[in-house]
Each structure stands twice: as C-alpha cells, then as structure tokens.
A and B are shown apart, each in its own frame.
Chain A
C-alpha cells in the first residue's frame, strides 16, 4: 500500500462521512427517489440502536397514497402488518380498494448498536410528484427512537431532531 492509495482512501472516507451525516444518523431509505406511480422496493437502513441499546422492533407507517404494500420476510424477525381504511382509496383492475396495509412491523429480532441492517417492503407509489415521508418507530431493549418528524411545507428536514424517512417522487418516465 503506498502513500497515494492511503491518501485517496482518506479523501474517499471523508466524503463518505460528510454525506453520511445527512442520512445515517436516522433511519433512511436506501433509494432516495423513485418515479411516481412506480413499484418501489423500499429498503430502510438502520445504522444504530437507541443510545447504545440494541434494536428489537421496527415499525413503519405507510403514508397516504402508498398501496399494494408487501413486506419482505426477514430471518430472525417476525413480520406483521396492520390493515385499515386507506386515506386515499384507489382503483385496481376496475375495483375501488378502500382497505389496505397502514403499518408494517418487524419484531422479535436483536440488532446490536454496532451493527447495521436493512428492512425491506415492496409497494406502489402514488401518482404525483414531490416528497412523501415514512414515519418509523425504532424500539430497543432500552428506550425507543421515533423517526416521525415531518417538516412543515417548504421547510428543510435538516433542523429536525428525528425526521421520518424521506422519498422524492419524480415525474413518470
């Protein structure tokens, strides 16, 4: 390993850390943007526990307009869904659907603070552009983190202590 390699690695590492601060302190989505009305694989990154305590449960609230939610099972975790009235009913093959998944939960596992893991669900995004937010409650052996803050319209999420996971909907291709 020579000096140049080390130098390059250092710069790269700084870049990683610099961008990481925006994201990794929180529970975030791996792909930050997706086309409107597309089928989207939502991958939630969990980078730490609650003040050092291991994560035991991840709960995700499904925002209005997001439908067809199917969580991906995860070894060591029990996946459950809560179904209820949808805020925005939708048409599927000519039928109006008024009920659907409103919350997805992975529980029973143990994710140490010093480990990283991902929780996945497939879903269909609403047919509009702009931001949508997935509020996440991270429960730990001791305490909980609530990534549930949504900035007021036109405001940035940078000032929020614990923002919800953000997804930007781009125009349909």
Chain B
C-alpha cells in the first residue's frame, strides 16, 4: 500500500521536477502600451513562489508598490495607478517545486515602444554629441577659410596682381587662424575625453598640441600669419600660402598612409590645387567686371588646366591607396564620400570645359557671365578625418574583447549609454579569424538595479557577426554580459564580462 502511494506520488510529481519555465507575460516582452496596466502577470508552466518580482523604471529605480503574489502558476504584481510614460523592466525571481530559482526580465513601454522609437529623454544632452557637431563645423570653416586665403594669394601672385582680393585674403586668413587654434583645443578634448567646459583648461590644449594634428595646424597658422604680416611682399605671401596648405599633408589618415613618399606629396599637391580653385572664385568673379577680363580668364584657364590635371592625378593616387578594389567604394563611408567627390570632379571638369570653350569666347565678344567652373574642394568634404591608420574604423561607443578557451568575442555597444543601443557580437578564434557559431544567446543583467537576466537572440548579420538593437540597457551602471556560443551540437562556450554603461 505504502509503496503504491509513493509510486503514485512519484508519477504525479514527475512533470514538476523540471525547472519552472516562463510561458508568457502581460504586458508581453517588447510591448508598447498606451496607458499603464493595472497589474503585471507572469504565467509559468508550473506552480511557483514569487521571491522577488519588481518593476524597474528607466532610471533604474524600483517602482514602489504592493508585493507580487503567486496563485498556482501565475505571478501577479499590482501596478501603482500614477505610473508615467516611459520604459519599464519587469524583473522576476521565482522558485518552482524543486526549489530551484528561476530568474529573468522582460521589458515594456508606456507611450513609447521599446523596440521601435528611440528614447528622446536619454539622448540629446550629451557633451560628446554636441561637441562632435561643433568640431565638424569648425573643421569645415577651417578648411574653407584656409583654402580661400591661400587660393586668393595664389591667384594674386599667379594670375592677376591687380585683383582687389586683399581684404578677402586677410579675412579668410584670420578666420583660418582662429578656427585652426580651436581645432587644437577640440582635438585635445576629444582625445582626453574631457567635458566641453575643459576647453578653458590648459590640459585640453596641451593634449591637442601634442598630436600630429596640433603640429600640422601650428605650421598652418605660421604660414597664415606670414601671409598677413608680409602682405606687401610677393615671395612671403606665396611661401606663406604654400606652407599653410602644405601643412595639411602632415596629418590625417590619407596623408600618413603607406607609402608616405606617395601619399604626403599627393595630399600636398591636391590641397594646393583645391586652394587655387576655391580661392580663385571670388577674385575671378570680380575680375570679370574689369576691362582686362579676357586676359585674366585666359591666364586662369591655362593654370586651371594644369591644376585640374594635378588635382585628378593626385586624387587618384590618394584614392587608389585608400580604397583597394571596387567593393569598398559602396561598402564604406570613405568610399561613398569618394564617389560623391568623383561626381563633383566630373561636374567641375564639365564646367571647366564650358569655361574654356564657351565662356572665354563669350567674354571676348563682350558678354559677361558669372558662372564659373567651381566646386567645393573634394578633400574638405571628407569630414571623417581618420584618427587611426588606414583600415581602422571610426570608433563609436564601447568595445570589449573577452575570451573563453580558444575563442574570442568582440562586443561592440553603440552609443554605450543608457537607453537604446546596438549591440554587436563578433566571434573569432585567437588569431582573429571569424568563426560562425551554430547558435548565439545573449543575457543582460544589472544586479545593482535588481534586473535579472534579459535573454535575447541577436540576429546574424554576417559571418560570425550578430546584432541586437533595442532598449535592453535601459539604466546606467555595470551590466553583466553573458554570451553563449554553441560551437558544435555538444559544445557550448560561455563568455562573461562586465561593461559599464554611461548615463
């Protein structure tokens, strides 16, 4: 009798011996709600006890309220009535009949969708973002004013000494000096990762001045100052202009790429030609109104032909060195920028031809047209000046490498701040050769905010490369990343690392 009873109980208990499994939640994982729910329910495959079930807001704070209750296999957490719009995480820790704890987290949004829209309240007030815009604008102003100043000087010296381009030259040179100096400080800020306020400190300028960029700009400023101070002496203005523009060839990834005996002179020639074109715009326009316009445009045309030939030749040399093969032309930012430039160069050549065959005869007949074969300088368009060597990518966000046995995973998080992020996982062997797992799982947990692991299946985007975009890293602080990689059917590797997510 007793044995029979035990057997009966044993059979009845058998299905319950498995660990509890979460079947579904209300609201569901990744769901967007228009209004706060009255309660949150989690249904498991078997009866459970609720140990710790909490609602966590986007600031990482646990929402105060009554405790969760468990009825059979459903856990219910009442939600306070005044819950505001935003992202929330439901973190649960329950035990099943086998007393084995089971934990995890799900996410939902009120008024915003956790999987679709970004989080306006998180983005937008970060120094780094604003600074990078200021830096890009400043850089564009610097190149434009530098090229106009040097170009005006070249035009005065080479084409027509009588052009009233002196004021433009002085103004542009002064602007180039100011923006150039600002670039040194901004570069220092970016390198030392200082806040915007530190621009007033010596540190950011010291760091900025110690880089090749700082030295290059310093030389440019010397050249510009020579042009300003020695305005009346043609040799001083010419050499000042050449030094100011030539210094550009001392920094940047294109100029410092190997082999330097090709790249540095190529950039130098390229920059001079660009300056000549850009700087000629205004004086040429003014010259058209003068009686000797035909002579000036003729002389300009001859020099422009040489400049265009040199521009194309040096540009081709730089491009060939930077982009090898056809695929990078469309696959990389650099390649796409280059394609835009090539289009502009083609337009420039057409306009130059038009200038030569059409405008010059027209001018000779006494008709004046102001349209000129001008385009922005190709190099100035490329605002992504490389910090690193040729193949390095612009480094956004956080990157961490962790290993287990003979495998590595590169974890990239962009932007790496609380809120919506793109997480990329790239798996490789220890020699950096990419390997493709059979399956990848990612668990994200934040113990100080009480967030139990959120399980996600990142999507495969390339060989060995997996991506997840979402609001999982909702709060700042130290997150545990657990990456599970199925190597073969019978072999799973686990990588664990802590990554600090900034506010």
Contact = CB atoms under 8 A, between A and B. Distances in A.
On whether A and B touch (CB less than 8 Å), the answer reads: yes
Interface of A: 1, 5-6, 8-9, 12-13, 16-17, 20-21, 24-25, 47-48, 51-52, 59, 61, 113-114, 116, 135, 137, 146, 148-149
Contacts of A146: 486, 489-490, 492
Given A9-B2, A24-B17, A17 B486 contact: no
A149 B492 contact: yes
Contact of A48 (B6, B15, B489): B15
A12 B7 CA distance: 10
A166 to B, nearest CB: 15
A16 to B, nearest CB: 6
Interface string B39-70: 00000010000000000000000000000000
Contacts of B98: 17, 20-21, 25
Closest 9 CB pairs of A and B: A21-B98, A24-B17, A13-B9, A9-B5, A135-B490, A61-B490, A48-B18, A12-B6, A20-B17
Interface in B186-226: none
A114 B15 contact: yes
Interface string B1-13: 1100110011001
Given A9-B9, A137-B489, A21 B17 contact: yes
Nearest to B18: A48
A114 B13 CA distance: 10
A47 B492 CA distance: 23
A16 B10 contact: yes
B478 to A, nearest CB: 21
B183 to A, nearest CB: 52
A21 B2 contact: no
Contacts of A1: 1
B427 to A, nearest CB: 18
B14 A51 contact: no
Nearest to B489: A137
Contacts of A17: 13, 16-17, 97-98
Main secondary structure of the interface of B (DSSP, over half): mixed
B456 interface: no
B126 interface: no
Nearest to B45: A52
B99 interface: yes
A47 B490 CA distance: 20
Contacts of B492: 146, 148-149
B19 interface: yes
Nearest to B13: A17
B19 A113 contact: no
A84 to B, nearest CB: 13
Contacts of B489: 59, 137, 146, 148
A25 B15 contact: no
A144 B294 CA distance: 83
B2 A8 contact: yes
Given A47-B14, A137-B489, A16 B9 contact: yes
B292 interface: no
A17 B14 CA distance: 9
B155 to A, nearest CB: 73
Contacts of B21: 51-52
Contacts of A47: 14-15, 17-18
Contact of A12 (B1, B2, B100, B486): B2
